[in-house]
Amino acid sequence: MSPISKRSEQKIFTAILLSLIYSVSCAAQHPATAAAAGKPDHLRCDSLTYPLGIDTTHPLLSWQLHDGRFGARQTAYEIQVATTPALLIADKADVWNSGRVSSDSSVNVPYTGPAMQPETRYYWRVKVWDKAGKLYPVSAAAWWETGLMSKDAWKAEWIGFEEKEESSIRKSGATWITNPGQENYKIPGETHHAFRFRFHLQQTARRADLYVAGKDSVAAWMNGQEVLTALPLPPWKQTPWKTWTKVDATSALHQGENLLAIDAVLYAANPNGMQTVNGSETPMSACLYVELTDGSTVIFTSGRGWRAALNPPPQWQNPQFNDDGWQAAVPFIPSDTTGEDDNDPGNPWPTESVKLLRDTFDVNRPVVSARLYITALGAYQAWLNGHRVGDQILSPGWTDYRIRVPYQVFDVTSELKPGKNAIGAFLAPGWYTTPLKWFRQGYNYGSTPDALRAQLRVAYADGSVEWVNTDEHWKAAESPITKAEIYDGENYDARREQTGWSTAPFSDANWKPAEVIQPVEPAIVSQYFQPIRMEKVLSAKKLTNPAPGVYVYDSGQNMSAVERLRVQGPAGTNIKMRFAEVLNSDGTLYTENLRTAKATDHYILSGKGVEEYQPRFTFHGFRYAEITGLQTNPGIDALKAVVIHTDAPFTARLHTGSPIINQLWNNILWGQRSNFVGLPTDCPQRDERLGWTADAQVFWRAASYNMDLTQFSKKFAADLRGTQSGTAMYGIIAPGTASSSPGFAAGWSEAGIIIPWTDWFQRGDRRILEENWDAMQKYLSAIHQANPDYLWAKEYGISFGDWLSPEGKTDETLIATAYWAYDVSLMREMAHALGKTKEEQQYAILFGHIRDAFDKAFVHSDGFVAGADNSASSFGQINNPNAKSHGGDTQTGYVLALHMNLLPNTLRRAAAEKLVEKIRENGWRLGTGFLGTPYLLSVLVDSGHADIAYRLLLNTDYPSWGYLVDHGATTMWERWNGDKMRDDPSMNSYNHYAYGAVADWIYGYAAGVDATPDDPGFHTIYLHPNFDRRIGSVDFSYDSSYGQIKSAWSIQDSTVTWQFTIPPNTTALLSENNAGMRPFTLDGAALDDSPKVHLSEMAEGEKVYRFPAGSYVLKAVLPPQPLSGN
């Protein structure tokens, strides 16, 4: 978050006003020196370059000045929009001309011309006048193109395809059943819930598939023959019980009467506190699909006619057993859980195989343009005339498909040819039907199968337009991809490839008609954020052979990626590839921390020479990849890693004099790469990969420096709003999954407030505030309504607390109330930005009430901050089984109170000293978890303890950032001591970005580059570097919306040299009271005497220096380095 303290806000605001007044006369005071001044560049529409498919009616236009002259700034602009580039060149804007507008706005300027037409390209350019009123050279033309802009424009049908068995089991009506009289099942330890069902077959079975699921695991017998063995409770204490397991039961069936017996094994409650069982309910679901000798089929499902018993006697699985004393099974009704969907089984259907869809069409006259508008309930890959369309991965990405689905637009003009053409697509489960979460809930967003919707618009030279739409005339077939799931991986059988399937000459006579699917219709919106793409390909650093036939590739980097395999061998050879973050001591893969995620791909060779395979519809989090199934060593070049992530541009660069910080920064970036795959996830490897909202909100400021997340933030904010369905509370994950609400929690749900604020603060775009204002107010109103006494002690949701804090529990009400106050303070700032004066005043008053209540409840007269809650957290053993602190007097308690401005000014110093004492007592080590860590260092600097902040940053003892680096981490870890937690794989990710939030401090405090809430988006830049001899130097640059900001300092002996660059059309402020402020000189003169710098004196004698655009070199002599103790 912003390192600007609330106490200094008014001073900064006053300085900004004075600087704006000063800028009017700047040109006269400081004549421009000779330097390059070119035409405006980096033209963007809705923060995107040449966007295809804009659906917004008033897109935001931005540009940057290309002017190296001192004090360069804009005084006026004129935007021209035309239907052709030629008209712009002729200065004839036939769509819209803003006219000359006196303004320095060059970022997020709204288009206010006539209503735009759908499926239309608009060309635009900008004229800009400099500070002297002189016109720059006119910018080059850029363009945006509108999309369909209306749901009525969709004429295509949703289509898909299911094989008979896939469709039959999905429509079978199988229900979840359980034993009656659930109060009798509260038995400690493992329990067996037995179910029996008798059925009759008129003929012998040619083929029989049994689909069965039960909590926690199931075993099954057919006529006394075991066909499925229950799996033991694994070390991670979680089981994938919600999705049917498929087993072949053919050999156990016979004509006449048969008996199916199923044992649902309920294990003891999970000792580490994660809720996987509640000890009182055991649902089971089954479906038996039988194909008889005459080709007809019959289906038997769980429901009526089943009998049930608890802990049955021996031999109960046999047909001869007498079950007259058993009770009739009853439908399962899930109990109320904590808002999560752990106990709600949902639909147990397994994912279906990946399908091929195709159609042909004629092009019989010259084509001007062709656009493909396409999306899916699932994931797709489009093809046209034998060529892949676009380079996007797993499109349309993860969304709550019940609410909205993004569509993509592709320019395919060059792919069309005269005569017959062919269009096709792979259709895969994606996030739509793939089982999600540790219990593996599939079909989270509906009961219909995967579906594709596409329409190809072909515009001809004669002005006519034709459409090729998905409908019942398309053809369908099975693809070579027999399975594709996000967690488990992809199976590809190259022998099933149909060469030329997406070309016109291909014969699809053996294909079947596609089926029109009728899902619950979501809103279909243009994808306004960057898609998932490949970034780079990493070659293996090392190849080992830890066991016969086992080959392990080390890429040297943990990441989100898929493999690129290149091998050859006999047809039918099944190559198995598994993935892991770390190795066992014997060099084999350590996969226990993946929990139920199989993370395994299979490739079956066609036998046709050298073959190359790269999965299309899965991804893995890994550093190490294992190959088995080959008869010979494949060689180190046989497997490479293809790195993927959401393709938002990287915007930060950093290098320091500390190898620890350099590696830490690299780890942070790789953690962001790995976990920004369609949405911000907690981890990329195990059976989770969810949009956990606490992880996101604490990291978002750092992430927004690292990448331009303007559009990605809007996407995730929409996902957050979606979790408010049926409630006012934002969810703990977004998008939600099967349940109507994913549950909420203080510190997690705050993402709904913090992420819109952060994006506005970082990029200055008020639209995200407008889009989320009502939802944010709804959330805060619900908190206030439940807590009229201004302490958030009621209805704060799930008690996660300061997650994974090594110090121990901080009072839940303290955390919740602090975050409520913080939300309210941010809402006040956002209300001010939106001109909502009444709401701004209301939130200012509300903040005061919450602060007073907080002080009364938690703050002592000597600055001691402690909570009253000494109870053990329900997640205490996960956080730290050896924690000594309960309730209060924790580092996090002080950090939140200080950062969120909840202490009287008279007690801030005392509380800060107590925080320092807590750190000292902990051996000069941090003790904070997910919620306290992001603000720890900034609180220390703001209270005059920059030396301690640097000491914590550079520490390599557990717990610390340096500990991860010192122990070989290449990404951020979930736990501070992940290397010591292999005996507890229930929650131990080696790729979690939350603790990477420290990058915000490195950029804002070490490099000293930050924005201000009164002039956000770095239009006014707030400078406050903190110099430290231990790291020696910092070299940082950031690509803001206005251009690149640079800050680099180095220390030689006792002299610091600080170089910084302020881009055109911006201003920088440096306060004398900044923690790192020294008596600087500029060009050999004191700052007070420099003609380049404007000096304003604030109240209490504080000086604020204003720096116009340009490059500066400041020098200062540093005092002796303070010591923080031993």
Q: Report pLDDT digits (tens) over 7-16.
A: 355 455 445 5
Q: Quick check: is 612 catalytic?
A: no
pLDDT surpassing 70 at residue 268: no
Which pLDDT score, from 0 to 100, does residue 280 have?
46
User: Mean pLDDT over residues 243-249, rounded?
Assistant: 97
- Quick check: is 347 in a domain? no
Please list, residue by residue across 405-420, b when 16 or more beta carbons sit within 10 angstroms of its beta carbon and e when fewer do.
bbbbbbebeebbeeee
Q: Quick check: is 688 catalytic?
A: yes
**Least reliable range by pLDDT among 237-251, 357-371, 573-587:** 237-251
Indicate which CATH number applies to the domain containing 778: 1.50.10.10
pLDDT surpassing 50 at residue 4: no
pLDDT surpassing 80 at residue 762: yes
Does the global pTM surpass 0.75?
yes
Looking at the structure, tell me whether residues 323 and 380 fall in a common domain. Answer: no
Looking at the structure, tell me whether residues 484 and 441 fall in a common domain. Answer: yes
Confidence of residue 1123 (pLDDT cuts 50, 70, 90): low
pLDDT surpassing 60 at residue 26: no
Looking at the structure, tell me whether residues 881 and 910 fall in a common domain. Answer: yes
3-state secondary structure 712-726: HHHHHHHHHHHCCCC
Task: Give per-residue pLDDT as tens, 676-725.
Answer: 999 999 999 999 999 999 999 999 999 999 999 999 999 999 999 999 98
Looking at the structure, tell me whether residues 641 and 658 fall in a common domain. Answer: no
The structural domain count of the chain equals: 6
User: Mean pLDDT over residues 305-311, rounded?
Assistant: 95
Confidence of residue 888 (pLDDT cuts 50, 70, 90): low
- Quick check: is 338 in a domain? no
State residue 625 phi and psi, 5-degree precision. -125, 140
- Quick check: is 20 in a domain? no
Closest residue by Cα to residue 1032 from 907, 1107, 932, 1121? 1121
Which pLDDT score, from 0 to 100, does residue 279 have?
40
Indicate which CATH number applies to the domain containing 420: 2.60.120.260
Indicate which CATH number applies to the domain containing 1079: 2.60.420.10
Closest residue by Cα to residue 539 from 635, 620, 627, 633? 635
The secondary element (H helix, E strand) that includes residue 641 is strand 639-646
Confidence of residue 1019 (pLDDT cuts 50, 70, 90): very high
Looking at the structure, tell me whether residues 107 and 190 fall in a common domain. Answer: no
**Least reliable range by pLDDT among 19-33, 44-58, 1005-1019:** 19-33
Closest residue by Cα to residue 1040 from 711, 762, 715, 701? 762
1067-1071/1103-1107 β-pairing: antiparallel
Which pLDDT score, from 0 to 100, does residue 985 have?
85
Which pLDDT score, from 0 to 100, does residue 7 have?
39
C-alpha triplet 640, 643, 644: angle, nearest 5° = 140
Task: Give per-residue pLDDT as tens, 852-874.
Answer: 999 999 999 999 998 765 444 44
Looking at the structure, tell me whether residues 621 and 724 fall in a common domain. Answer: no
Looking at the structure, tell me whether residues 1000 and 1035 fall in a common domain. Answer: no
Looking at the structure, tell me whether residues 81 and 185 fall in a common domain. Answer: no
Q: In the listed set 982, 1006, 1030, which residue is the last one of a domain according to the structure?
A: 1006
Q: In the listed set 954, 987, 1006, which residue is the last one of a domain according to the structure?
A: 1006
Average pLDDT along the chain: 92
The secondary element (H helix, E strand) that includes residue 781 is helix 767-786
Which pLDDT score, from 0 to 100, does residue 180 have?
86
Confidence of residue 1124 (pLDDT cuts 50, 70, 90): low
Cβ–Cβ contacts within 10 Å for residue 269, how many?
A: 16
pLDDT surpassing 90 at residue 982: no
Task: Give per-residue pLDDT as tens, 898-955.
Answer: 999 999 999 999 999 999 999 999 999 999 999 999 999 999 999 999 999 999 999 9
Residues forming beta bridges with residue 644, ordered by sequence position? 534
Place of tokens 């596609």: 514
Which pLDDT score, from 0 to 100, does residue 877 have?
42
Looking at the structure, tell me whether residues 158 and 232 fall in a common domain. Answer: no
Which pLDDT score, from 0 to 100, does residue 738 have?
81
Indicate which CATH number applies to the domain containing 69: 2.60.40.10
DSSP state of 366: -
Closest residue by Cα to residue 895 from 875, 915, 910? 915
Looking at the structure, tell me whether residues 198 and 137 fall in a common domain. Answer: no
Looking at the structure, tell me whether residues 774 and 868 fall in a common domain. Answer: yes
**Least reliable range by pLDDT among 78-82, 106-110, 178-182, 879-883:** 879-883
- Quick check: is 53 in a domain? yes
Which pLDDT score, from 0 to 100, does residue 30 have?
45
Looking at the structure, tell me whether residues 635 and 583 fall in a common domain. Answer: yes
Q: Which of 166, 688, 812, 829 is catalytic?
A: 688
Which pLDDT score, from 0 to 100, does residue 338 have?
43
Which pLDDT score, from 0 to 100, does residue 870 have?
44
212 in helix, strand or coil? strand
142-146/121-130 β-pairing: antiparallel
User: Mean pLDDT over residues 792-804, rounded?
Assistant: 94
pLDDT surpassing 60 at residue 876: no
Taking each continuous run of H as one helix and of E as one strand, the counts in the chain are: 19, 58
Which pLDDT score, from 0 to 100, does residue 269 have?
54
Which pLDDT score, from 0 to 100, does residue 846 have?
99
User: Mean pLDDT over residues 825-842, rounded?
Assistant: 99
Confidence of residue 29 (pLDDT cuts 50, 70, 90): very low
Tokens of 872: 């053990």
Which pLDDT score, from 0 to 100, does residue 669 have?
99
Q: Are 206 and 293 spatial neighbours (Cβ–Cβ below 8 Å)?
A: yes
- Quick check: is 339 in a domain? no
Q: In the listed set 529, 547, 571, which residue is the last one of a domain according to the structure?
A: 529
- Quick check: is 627 in a domain? yes
User: Mean pLDDT over residues 728-752, rounded?
Assistant: 91
Q: What is the total residue count of the chain?
A: 1126
3-state secondary structure 8-69: HHHHHHHHHHHHHHHHHCHHHHCCCCCCCECCCEEEEECCECCCEEECCCCCEEEEECCECC
- Quick check: is 23 in a domain? no
- Quick check: is 337 in a domain? no
The domain in which residue 615 lies consists of 533-646
State residue 872 phi and psi, 5-degree precision. -75, 135
